[in-house]
Structure 1
Amino acid sequence: MEQNVVDDPNYNSDALESVHSSDDERGKKHEQFPEFNEKTDMKNPTLTLGLVFRDHVQFKRALIMYSLVNRYGEIHFPRNEKLKVTAKCAKRCPWKCCVGKMYGSKTIQIKTILDEHTCGRTWANKNMKSHLLTDFNCQIRVESRLWKNEGYKALDRALKIIEGKHAEQYTKLWDYAEKVRNTNPGSIMKVKLDRGRFQRIYVCLGACKEGFKSGCRPLIGLDGCYLKSVHEGQLLCAVGIYPNDETWDIAYAVVEMENKSSWIWFLELLVDDVGVVNQEGWTFISDQQNGLIPAFQKVLPNSHHRFCVRHLYTNFRNLFKWKTLKDALWSVVKTTAVPHFKKVMEDMKKLDEKAYNWLMKKLAHHWSKSHFETYPKCDMLLNNLCESFNDVILVPRQKLIVIMLLLIHTLLMKRIQMRRIQW
């Protein structure tokens, strides 16, 4: 049944039957109407006659949330003024709700309500906006692509609320670096700025550094991977190997991109932390990233540099697609003596002279076991050290920079503790 109390334009809303009443000092009774509490009532609004709202904006948000939660479909507003709002169901059912100004104030309250829906319930509702879902932590199902976009916007807003805005994260880097130095003695944190703005950060945790120095082979894998946050960038990493063939993460850095400058900066810091004195006793393996080879020539000209054979084979396969040549390539790669290497290369020359010439242009000490140095006591051909690290940090790479660094930090500490328990 419709309840209408707005026929008289001079109507005094205080004449409505109130839920509560109170007496003043003279004994005169004052009526009090229920007020809409946005913090507690917005998740599941209940509309009653006389309900008081702060303004027309709060009333409209409450009605839209009411329709979303109860799946009543869309609501439109034929009359939309600051002190007078009329709301009706868009499907032409008799439901209606009107608010007007309370007597003696600019507050509005429900003066007419016909709370009867004859339309069927639906999940589709164009009134749904992202700010409603995030501001009031609501879970509402949507079915249309148009409205799913609002869902994605709501997810983005929610992540900003939880993790903070992207730009604010960079102001917290110095606090994070100081915290790491205090809690993990020996840690090295370097932040580089470009004209007062963040450019790079280098992280070498004290426990990782000391663990590598005390028990790992003098072989380090280098690699870079893309970050998937809003500001993008790339993450460079250095990973070592234990004598029992387990990986050991040493250092990582967030840079603007992979180039000669960023690799030189990363390698110089890594060399100081690891304590590389005699470069000839150290071996590095990489995927020949952009700018890495010239960086090696400047920072580590006397060290040994291996190339990941998987990437070498990928380039080889683009030119020579025979399976016979593939098997021949891997035979050359796995040879352990120079005479055997020469013999297998001659066999490849008989199969395809172009493939032979292409491979001879690559220095053998970069990719064949027969020319590797024996000091590291490791004949590794693939850079799986870094590939496994990149795979483990797949989720952190999608986060904002401080969140990402914290997740990687936590991951490495957990890994060290688990190995300590196992050993």
Structure 2
Amino acid sequence: MEVAKADSVTLSASSPTVDIVEQQRFVTDDNIEDRATHRSLADSSTPIIIAVDAAENAGPQSAPWDCVITEVGQEFDNVKAFRDELCKYAFVKGFAYKYIKNDNVRVTVKCTVETCPWRIHASGSARKQKFIIKKFNNVHTCGAGSGDDGHQRATRHWLARIVKEKLLDNPQSKPRDIARDIYRDYGINLNYTQAWHAKEAAQKELHFLHEEVCNQLPRLCKKIMEANPGSITTLAASVDSKVRRVFVSLHASLHGFEHGCRPLLFLDRIPLKANNQWKLLGAAAMDGDDGIFPVAFAAVEAETHNSWHWFLVQLKHAVSTSRNITIVSCRQKGLDESVPRVFEDSFHAYSLFHLIEELKAELKKSSYSEQDKRAIVNNFKSAAQTYVVDDFNTCIDRIKNISTDVAEWVMSTKPEHWSYSLFRGSRYDHLSANIVESLSRWIAVKDESTIVQLIGALHAKIKDVLDSRRQTSSTWAGTLTPSIEQKLQKEIPKARMLLVVCSSDSVFEVHGSSINVVNIASWECTCQRWQLMGLPCLHAIAVFNRVGRSAYDYCSRYFRCESYRLTYSASINPVPDIESISSVAGANSYPPHTQRPPGRRKRKRINPRKTSIRPLHCSRCKEAGHNKATCEAQL
């Protein structure tokens, strides 16, 4: 696969049966987002290869190493990521450490000096699918920082990961340049031989990575779309033809989201347990039975502002924008800016789960009692879940009574993006959805070794989930899905205790602990629950009992069994011979694998003291160029 050496190009095949190199269509980067409005001009069943700006795709930037280990509660993707960050931390702090416990579940480390109290313990969290620091005594009495003791764990493989980031920026870097840059940036002193070996190991890793994405991914994407017409796969490349990102959205997922799911999308990064080469970004919806419904996913080089923006652009191109979509995500990694820029007519809601984690991290920085911390968190949850502005203000006042600074922090997080009472879009009673916990279980560690296996595992799992839910829903006999039916039945007994006063044919007053006005013509209640949930509230149910109408007729269509079956009506076809996908000959510009011959290399050494050699002269014929033994002159 060759990408033209231009600042920004787009290549696309005209049909799934044509080689993606043969058909080319050039579009500037500024027009990528406009493809969503001109989608009918391109065949959506063909793979798209986008060349992104080299500066944007230069890989993750190095962060100060003294900040990679900070406090209790800090999260890491997996145990390998924690070990790598701990090694960096020891380098910059200048101390050596040893493992007390070291496995895939828990890691306990202490300083090698026996009298030093420095110690850290981290373990995995099944709920968050993360590796979290549980205990951290960040006190050294051994004089850490005065020497290079932290360099003891500088293995070639570990240094290769650092050098790899530099080679992504400048592939022509020489060992001397690498050694100089590493000493300047990180204080690690490497000699020429160490820098050379680190560069060799880094180039080998980059070669394997680039060979896979440049050779195997285009073929895999082509096979996915041949087996599932209407699917969208996108490969993004830098100007040096190195593919670095891949986006996949299957036709069955797009069809189900458009015709059966609520216009609600949840964004999050799905942590991988073993693979640190890629970061997996995901977008999922909620089906009519409140189940996670995968819509799209992408493998990128790092979770950054640029990679999320690229993912959102591809997602907008894939999904239909005929409805106002509510997107739920955290407000970090530039999502608070990218979501409104890409999805201009949609609503952006902040995930309550991520906000609570941020709040807890803020509370750890201060000396509040455990009782005050619990009260603040509970009032914060109540402020998010209340439907009336006055109740929201009451919750904020309670937080302010405990701490004015915390109340100011809460208000600085833009409550109009996370509180029911202030949010303008429709969240269908979902403040957050932990899609990480669901989707991360779909990927086994053995499927993370290559990106082809990772995409193949997700493809197979999504197929199994869709087939299983389609078969289960065929046995349902009710009007609403089981989980929604259960929610509605909980409200019916409460509605019998309310007094209904008729104001007009469609407007009623409902008296209980408070007075609420219900308009059955516009499907509205002053308590706001009907509008926000899509299900009739208990006040509306009381009115239906009074006028003899059925509550099922006033439920959102997304909660009906026929919509649920429509969500899973499209099936996913398996990709044939996905295990046998290998490199395509001639598609790679990188050198092929070569095996070094056994033994030491023969060197032609140059002796500076040796003078030039006198040419041979024959003692028989007196001519130059041969000797007497080979002389053939006739005398």
Instruction: Flag whether TM exceeds 0.5 (same fold).
Output: yes
SS of corresponding position for 1:201 = strand
2:342 corresponding residue in structure 1: 299
Superposed displacement of residue 267, structure 1: 1.0
Larger radius of gyration: 1
Residue 230 and residue 420 in structure 1: after superposition, are their counterparts in 2 closer, same or farther (change >3 A)?
A: closer
Pick the aligned partner of 1:248 from 285, 289, 293: 293
Indicate if the aligned counterparts of 1:258 and 1:289 stay in contact, CA closer than 8 A: no
Whether the 8 Å CA contact 1:229–1:400 is kept in 2: the answer is: no
In structure 2, distance between residues paired with 1:188 and 1:211: 15
Matches within 5 A, 1:169-180: 169-170=212-213, 171-180=215-224
Equivalent AA in structure 2 for residue 181 of structure 1: M
When residues 361 and 230 of structure 1 are mapped into structure 2, their CA distance, relative to the original with a 3 A threshold, is closer
8 Å CA contact retained: 1:227, 1:397: no
Alpha-carbon spacing, 1:270–1:230, altered in 2? closer, same or farther (3 Å) = closer
When residues 317 and 226 of structure 1 are mapped into structure 2, their CA distance, relative to the original with a 3 A threshold, is closer
- Matched with 2:327 is 284
Partner amino acid for 1:358?
W
CA contact 1:258–1:291 (8 Å) conserved in 2 = no
Query: In structure 2, what is the Cα distance between the partners aligned to 1:221 and 1:405?
Result: 20
2:442 maps to 1:383: no
Identify the residue that residue 311 of structure 2 maps to in structure 1.
Answer: 266
The one-letter code matched in structure 2 to 1:236 is L
Match of 1:329 in 2: 380
- Give me the whole-angstrom Cα distance separating, in 2, the residues matched to 1:379 and 1:333: 11
For residues 218-233 of structure 1, the aligned pairs below 5 Å read 218-227=263-272, 232-233=277-278
Relative to 1, partners in 2 of residues 1:324 and 1:227: Cα closer, same or farther, differing over 3 Å?
closer
| Deviation sequence 1:308-345 (CA, Å, 0-9, x none) | 22221222123335222222222212211112111221
Change in CA separation of 1:373 and 1:394 when aligned onto 2, cut-off 3 Å: farther
| Counterpart for residue 352 of structure 1 | 403
User: Deviations 1:398-419 (Å, cap 9, x if unpaired)?
Assistant: 2211011111100000111001
CA distance in 1, matches of 2:337, 2:399: 31
Q: In 2 relative to 1, CA 292–254 (structure 1 residues): closer, same or farther, beyond 3 Å?
A: same
Q: Which residue of 457, 463, 472 corresponds with 1:422?
A: 472
Matched letter for residue 334 of structure 1: Q
Residue equivalent to 1:362: 413
Shift of 1:374: 5.4
Distance, in Å, in 2 between the alignment partners of 1:327 and 1:366 is 18
CA deviation after TM superposition for structure 1 residue 166, in Å: 5.5
Match of 1:236 in 2: 281
1:412 partner letter = I
Tell me if structure 1 keeps the 8 A contact 2:233–2:247.
yes
Give 1:206's match in structure 2, choosing from 251, 258, 269.
Answer: 251
- Residue 412 of structure 1 corresponds to 462
- Between the aligned partners of 1:289 and 1:398, the Cα distance in structure 2 is 26
Match of 2:430, SS state, is coil
Distance (Å, rounded) in 2 between the aligned partners of 1:299 and 1:397: 32
- Structure 1 moving runs of 4+ over 6 Å: none
C-alpha deviation, 1:347, in angstroms: 2.2
Stretch moving more, 335-344 or 289-298: 289-298
| 1:46-80 CA distance string (max 9 Å, x none) | xxxxxxxxxxxxxxxxxxxxxxxxxxxxxxxxxxx
Correspondence 1:106-125 to 2 at 5 A: none
Q: Measure, in 1, the Cα distance between the counterparts of 2:230 and 2:328.
A: 26
Name the amino acid aligned to 2:268. D
Structure 1 residues 385 and 244 mapped into 2: Cα distance closer, same or farther (>3 Å)? same
Between 1:235-244 and 1:397-406, the stretch displaced more is 397-406
What SS does the aligned partner of 2:306 have?
helix
Partner Cα distance (2:352, 2:218) in 1: 40
- SS of aligned partner of 2:441: helix
Cα–Cα, structure 1 residues 265 and 374, in superposed 2: closer, same or farther, change >3 Å?
Answer: closer
Say whether residues 1:197 and 2:242 are aligned partners.
Answer: yes
Residue in structure 2 matched with residue 28 of structure 1 by the alignment: none
Question: Structure 1's 329 and 231: CA in aligned 2 closer, same or farther, altered over 3 A?
Answer: closer
> Do structure 1's residue 399 and structure 2's residue 399 form an aligned pair?
no
How far off is 1:348 after superposition?
Answer: 2.0
Alpha-carbon offset, residue 193 of structure 1 = 1.5
| Deviating more after overlay: 388-397 vs 345-354 | 388-397
Deviation at 1:272, TM superposition (A): 1.9
- Corresponding letter in the other structure for 2:408: N
Higher strand share: 1
Asked if structure 2 preserves the Cα contact closer than 8 Å seen for 1:372 and 1:379, the reply is no
Deviation at 1:231, TM superposition (A): 6.2
Task: For residue 370 of structure 1, give the secondary structure of its aligned residue in structure 2.
Answer: coil
Instruction: State how 1:67-86 maps to structure 2 within 5 Å.
Output: none
Structure 1 range deviating more: 203-212 or 317-326: 317-326
Once residues 190 and 214 of structure 1 are traced to their aligned partners in structure 2, the CA distance between those partners, rounded to angstroms, is 23
Amino acid at match of 1:360: M
Deviation at 1:274, TM superposition (A): 1.0
8 Å CA contact 1:259–1:292 kept in 2: the answer is: no
Which stretch shifts more, 318-327 or 281-290? Answer: 318-327
Q: CA deviation at 1:384?
A: 1.2
Alpha carbons of 1:371 and 1:386: their partners in 2 closer, same or farther (altered >3 Å)? Answer: farther
2:441 and 2:335 mapped to 1: Cα distance?
21
Kept in 1, the 8 Å contact 2:231–2:249? The answer is: yes
Q: Aligned partners of 1:223, 1:248: CA distance in 2, in Å?
A: 13
Q: CA deviation at 1:262?
A: 1.5
Query: Residues 340 and 348 of structure 2 are in contact (CA less than 8 Å); yes or no, is this contact kept in structure 1?
Result: no
Q: Is the 8 A contact 1:240 1:385 kept in 2?
A: no
Between 1 and 2, higher relative CO (CA 8 Å, sep ≥ 6) is seen in 2
Structure 1 spans left out of the alignment, 5+ residues: 1-164
2:304 partner letter: N
Q: What is the alpha-carbon root mean square deviation over aligned residues?
A: 2.1
**Do the aligned partners of 1:228 and 1:397 also contact (CA within 8 Å) in 2?**
no
- Cα distance in 1 for partners of 2:224, 2:379 equals 50
Aligned residues of 2:383 and 2:392 also touching (Cα < 8 A):
yes
Count of paired positions: 256
Deviation at 1:237, TM superposition (A): 0.6
